[in-house]
Structure formats: C-alpha cells, structure tokens
Amino acid sequence: MKNIVITGVSTGIGYGAAKIFIQSGYRVFGSVRKQEDAERLKKEFGDNFMPLIFDITDHAAIANAANIVKEQIGDYGLSGLINNAGATEGAPLMHTSIENFRKNLEVLVVSQLVVIQEFLPLLGARKDCPYKPGRIINITSINGKIAAPFMGGYVASKHAFEGLSNTLRIELQMYGIDVIIVGPGVVKTAIWGKQTDDIAEKYRNTEYYLPCIAFNNFLKKSLPKTGLELDKFSERLLKIFEVKHPRTRYAIVRKKFMNWTLPRIIPARLADKFFAKLIGFKKG
C-alpha cells in the first residue's frame, strides 16, 4: 500500500485530498489540531486513514508525528507529502501588527519547512535508500504570483513558499525527490463562510475602513461563485501527484484566462487601478 502524509485535513482542500487519495488506495496520514476531528475523520474514512494530531507551529509535535509515521510504515517509505495546513488573517500592511505579519510567515513558510525536514528521511532523502523516492506537493495559492490588497502577509508568505519550493526542488534532485507547486485559485470550501462582516472593524478609524468592507464583500459574494468545486480540485490534485512527468508548477483556477493568465500579463499599474476601483480607493 502507498503511504502519504497530508497536512490540514479537517476541512477544505486537505479534507478533499485525504478523501480522494483514500478512495484511490492510499493510506493517508492526515494532520488535524483537535482530537474530535481525528475521531470524526477516522470514523468517516476507515482503516486507511490515520490521524496525526499537531498544530503546524508546534515543531516538537511535528517531530513526534514523523516518528509515529515511521513506526507505522516500516521499510516501505512515504510515496508523498502534501503540505496544505495553514491559516491567515488579513490586514492593510500599514496597520497590521508585526506580530500578525510574523505569524503569517511562521505558519505559512517556516512551519512548512519544519514539516518537510521531518518527513524527508521517510520520503527517501538518505544515502542508499531501499525504496522509491516520494514526491512533495506544496499547496501555495494564486497569490503566490498575484498580489491583492489587505492580504500582504498571506501574499508575502505564499511568494516565499514558492521560492522555497523551487530551491528545494533543485536541492533534492540528488535523492530523486520531486517538489511540485500547486497554486489554487478559489476553491469552494467552508473558508468562505468564515468571512465575517466585522473583519474591517478594527480599522474603522482609518482610511482603509470602507475599502476593507468593500474587499471583504467582494471575497464573500463574488469569488465563491466563480470558485472550483472541491471534488474537481481534488481529482486534479490526484492526477498531478500520479503523473509520470509532472510540471514544476500547476495553477488550478476556474476561468483560467480571466483569473490567472490575464492578471499576469496586463501591466501592473493597470491591475493596481482595477483594485482601486473595486474597493473605492481615493487619493487624499
């Protein structure tokens, strides 16, 4: 049986990935933060799912999880690692706390590397490895290439994670371990339901208050309607993982020309004006 580790499987993209990989015959070791999520998913997915309980910022717990996986798989090794876990909080960069900005980098970049380092030996990063090397898929975002307002910490982190992934791919050639970047656009998951009307409230006394509300409304109402169904995204992710000669980066985006190709080829100043009009920026 092929073994794979997927982080952040309690909901959303991670949940969809765990589901389709189990349906395709893999044993999935999936990370969750809560015991109740572990029990719920174990009941739903059955014997081919093993929960790993850790917060991605708890580096000692990640190391312990890697040891648990090592004990379970013995000499078979990991076929893959999918780095998906992470959370963020938006804010205009002028007013975001350095603590919040640093947290974005810790969760979405530093902790991702910790996970990779701990599981690399099980993926085949060792001399004279007796099994076929595994693959790493790093889930970034459309914002790993395209900036957006009020998401500076997230955008910076995803740009950094893409750079980290590209360097890692070069370095791991000596072990035969491939690193693939998957940058989703909007995927229809519960995250959109978590958007609240009071996100902008802390910026009420700044010039960003009304633009924050406008941008939040855009996220809540417009983007989910153009998002990709989770099942379709999960199917595509499985195909990418299993293809013999994968590309180094995949953009999984609905209405790809409008939402991916065009934003990257139009002049940056034009894109800036688009956002200014969208959220009502006015020069003082």
Catalytic-role residue among 26, 154, 203, 250: 154
Whole-number Å distance between alpha carbons of 121 and 216 = 42
Whole-number Å distance between alpha carbons of 145 and 156 = 10
Phi-psi region at 102: left, alpha or beta (left = phi > 0; alpha = psi -120 to 50): alpha
Contact 230, 13 (CB under 8 A): yes
For residue 249, give Cα distances in angstroms to 4, 194, 256: 20, 28, 15
Partner residues linked to 252 by β-bridges: 184
Q: 244: how many CB neighbours lie within 10 A of its CB? A: 4
Whole-number Å distance between alpha carbons of 27 and 5 = 9
Indicate the DSSP class of residue 7.
S
The helix (run of H) or strand (run of E) holding residue 73 is: helix 59-73
DSSP, collapsed to helix, strand or coil, labels residue 180 as strand
Whole-number Å distance between alpha carbons of 78 and 116 = 12
Our answer to whether residue 250 is catalytic in this structure is no
Phi-psi region at 190: left, alpha or beta (left = phi > 0; alpha = psi -120 to 50): alpha
Phi-psi region at 239: left, alpha or beta (left = phi > 0; alpha = psi -120 to 50): alpha
For residue 52, give Cα distances in angstroms to 61, 89, 115, 227: 9, 25, 12, 29
The single residue listed with the structure tokens 């989910």 is 224
Question: Could you give the residue numbers annotated as active site?
Answer: 154
